[in-house]
A and B are shown apart, each in its own frame.
Chain A
Amino acid sequence: MNTKNIMIVGVGGQGTLLTSKILGNAAISAGYDVKVSEVHGMSQRGGSVVTYVRYGAQVYSPVIGLGEADLILAFEPLEAARALSYLKKDGILVANTRKIDPMPVISGAMEYPQDVLERIASLGVDLRAFDAMQSAQNAGNEKTLNVVLVGYLSTLGFFEESALRDALCACVPEKLRDVNLKAFELGKNAEVSAF
């Protein structure tokens, strides 16, 4: 199989690392070679964070290049725009619609761009956007935003749903299992917005 490339982008603190861990484990259980590249340290302090998951017969580079991502999971609209050039022309972009202002916007130096996701959709991108934060809140814990997105991903044919569930259960503490499984379910059944 050709290498599959999944990119996870968001804001430091949103739990992107857990997502990549779940996907990495799901890929191993399917018998693939896997590489996951993470970012630690300073950029985790509320900055843009990017994690790469690659799996296939044999994977060399741990990172994903321009136009190489089969799928991007964007935890925030602006980060979706920032990562867009890494998406394959026919790749899928899954985006949480809930915005987080970056510091230049908070401090008033810049404006948060209008209609980011509409702009992306107008380029002909296969965009699947929904309020994943609302789903996480409905699940009972905002921190399950990452798992809501994994739940949606389970509908896209990259992994068996059961493999994702098993990987999820292996990656979260026992006492948080139920809330995460609920978030997974809400993500799986999420209705994406039309643009």
Chain B
Amino acid sequence: MKTLFLGNEAVARGLYEAGCGFVSSYPGTPSTEITECAAKYSEIYAEWAPNEKVALEAALGACLGGKRAFCGMKHVGLNVAADPLFIGAYTGVGAGLVIGVADDPGMHSSQNEQDSRHYAESAKLPMLEPSDSAECKEFTKLAFELSEAFDTPVLLRLTTRVSHARSLVECADRQEPAAFTYEKDPQKHVMMPAYAKPRHLAAEDRLRRLSAYAETSDLNRIEFHQDALGIVCAGNTYNYAKEVFGDRASYLKLGMVHPFPEQLARQFAGKVKRLIVIEELDPFLENKFRALGIACEGKNLLSLCGEYSQDLLKERLENGSNPHHVYPDPIPPRPPVLCPGCPHRGLYYVLKKLNLRVFGDIGCYTLGAVAPLNAIDTCFCMGASVSAMHGFEKASPEAAKNSVGVIGDSTFMHSGITGLVNLCYNQANATLIILDNSITAMTGHQQNPCTGYTLKGEAVHGILPEKICEGAGVDPKHIRITDPNEPEKLEAILREELAFNGVSVIITRRPCVLLKQVKKDKLCTIESDSCKNCRACMKLGCPAIYLGGGKRPQIDGTLCTGCTLCTKLCKFGAIRTQAR
């Protein structure tokens, strides 16, 4: 029986059926559910690692230790894991190793839209790219076969619309793979110059063998219908092209996007009069055709930026879009916002009030950058709040008086600790705020080393960020722990620590309001008699507070979580708290 599987869920099913025994990942949209779903199979050991580099190193170790291993991440996670990725291409594997990387064309939930296919080429690794959930499962299983047959890590590339689309999958049983037994082999596993030189040769030789495989593999196929138009596509662009052109075009559908099947490409190009490469982001495949001297179109018609759709293909390659209604007036945008009751709101309110320069980081709290809080100056990548604040202060020492870095608990574990070590080691004058909401919130509530639970739900020792700060050398007197929903107290602490010349850490500790254990048993209401309509409460940007009748602030009881932050800002005591 076929069932609906999310692309990511189907990858997890593929891991299960392939006999995978080890998964280590760091959450990142749109990849997260692969690991969450894999963790539900009791046969698979699965963990959240503190970051992608650790996860991939662990997976490399696990495959040598005899288990088929997987490591999943979003596209920017592969930047973090690039170090072991490139080395894994030299060492090869033991049992199979598959690395899932999910790109986010259109930046639904990312800070950039890089194209991970370049990693396959530069690391000299094979990369498969499925188009739907059924292929997600089958390609995952095949990736393990290839990994073991060619002694190589295999990259599985997904994109948001494959990861987060549900389509039909037929499940099969789990097959335990042939056992792999580790034997010491320094020339293969110790990468120093004398041993690495032959391994580079081995990697190049393997790539040649993989190229030959790509020519005949079922992963790559020609669907020939008519010779007027030939379309080269992979992943979801195959679906968009089929949707628009159906049998009016012929297709070269690549399930293996690296290495490139040159003979097959020549053969296809020779059969069609017009050749268009349809691929999101970079002209990765198009450039392969050009390198072969084959004329083709692609990025001259279609964009380098954003995600594709059947609309885009109709607009650029056909006669435009379907007839449709047009709403005649401007529509106010609805950007994502910090949730009602979000513990980050109180902090940002204070940071904005003090007009501080804020070095931001990756997580829900990046939303403090938008109106009306407008509280963030920079956001680069995981951990950069700490290190960019440091560099800024060394370049402009007077900046320390009015600068802070903000980083979440999970992001601190991921890449903030090394930045903190740098602050301490290089005698920074800095104030770092760790927003400890006891969960990895943005990606949908994953456990992390601070939360006291593993991915499988086992209770463990939760690491306290303050202990790490202390160990790095931050004076315990300047490690301050406070509740972000107490703005007056927080403001006083901030003023003290900004005045201190040295490294301070303020930990704002309050769990994410969406966690089940957070009681939402209170409700705030505005008493219209006492309200002077000063709108101080509106400055919080809480979605529950809106201008109601008579243009006066009101609280939407269906959205209010009873966090009571607004009651602390009302000078007139007009906001009352009641039991729900």
Contact = CB atoms under 8 A, between A and B. Distances in A.
Interface residues of B, number: 61
B150 to A, nearest CB: 31
A80 to B, nearest CB: 9
Contacts of B443: 41
A113 B311 CA distance: 28
B3 A62 contact: no
Contacts of B167: 33-36, 59, 62
Contact of B165 (A25, A35, A84, A119): A35
Contact of B161 (A25, A34, A63): A63
Listed residue (B164, B334, B338, B541) with the most chain A CB atoms within 10 angstroms of its CB? B334
A39 B311 CA distance: 18
A47 B310 contact: no
B4 A60 contact: no
Listed residue (A12, A84, A103) with the most chain B CB atoms within 10 angstroms of its CB? A103
Interface string A73-85: 0000011011011
B543 A103 contact: yes
B538 A106 contact: yes
Size class of the contact patch on chain A: 35 or more
Interface stretch (A64-72, A151-159, A172-180, A181-189): A64-72
Contacts of B444: 40-41
Interface in B157-180: 161, 164-168
Given A103-B370, A106-B547, A142-B558, A46 B331 contact: no
B166 A101 contact: no
Contacts of A20: 166
A109 B322 CA distance: 34
B322 A68 contact: yes
A85 B327 contact: yes
Interface in A99-127: 101-113, 119-120, 123, 125
A162 interface: no
A44 interface: yes
Given A86-B324, A87-B324, A110-B332, A65 B29 contact: no
B14 to A, nearest CB: 19
Given A82-B331, A84-B326, A87-B325, A106 B165 contact: no
Listed residue (A21, A48, A106) with the most chain B CB atoms within 10 angstroms of its CB? A106
Given A24-B4, A24-B166, A35-B167, A42 B108 contact: yes
B6 interface: yes
Contacts of A119: 327-329
Nearest to A32: B168
Interface string B310-348: 110010000001111111111111111111000000000
Contacts of A33: 167-168
Contacts of B243: 60-61
Contact of B240 (A60, A79, A86, A102): A60
Contacts of A123: 325, 327-328
B236 interface: yes
B364 A65 contact: no
Contact of B322 (A13, A46, A48, A66): A66
Contact of B334 (A24, A47, A88, A109): A47
Contact of A12 (B161, B329, B336, B372): B336
A47 B337 contact: yes
A78 B161 CA distance: 25
A147 B239 CA distance: 30
A11 interface: yes
B132 interface: yes
Interface string B236-249: 10111011000000
A43 interface: yes
Nearest to A83: B327
B2 interface: yes
Given A38-B6, A66-B322, A67-B321, A102 B327 contact: no
Contacts of A40: 29-30, 32-33, 108-109, 164, 444
A28 interface: yes
Given A37-B164, A42-B29, A60-B242, A66 B311 contact: yes
A61 B239 contact: yes
A59 B166 CA distance: 11
B332 A25 contact: no
B230 to A, nearest CB: 18
Nearest to B167: A35
B545 interface: yes
Contacts of B323: 67, 89
A35 B166 contact: yes
A46 to B, nearest CB: 4
A120 B331 CA distance: 13
B190 to A, nearest CB: 40
Contacts of A12: 336
A122 to B, nearest CB: 9
B325 A103 contact: no
Given A65-B310, A85-B324, A89-B325, 11 more contacts: A34-B168, A36-B4, A39-B108, A45-B338, A45-B367, A47-B336, A61-B243, A67-B323, A67-B325, A84-B324, A123-B325
15 contacts: A28-B3, A34-B4, A35-B167, A40-B32, A40-B109, A41-B444, A46-B543, A48-B333, A61-B240, A78-B331, A103-B372, A103-B543, A105-B332, A106-B541, A107-B541
| 5 A-B pairs with the lowest CB-CB distances in the bound complex, closest first | A41-B109, A67-B322, A67-B324, A41-B29, A47-B336
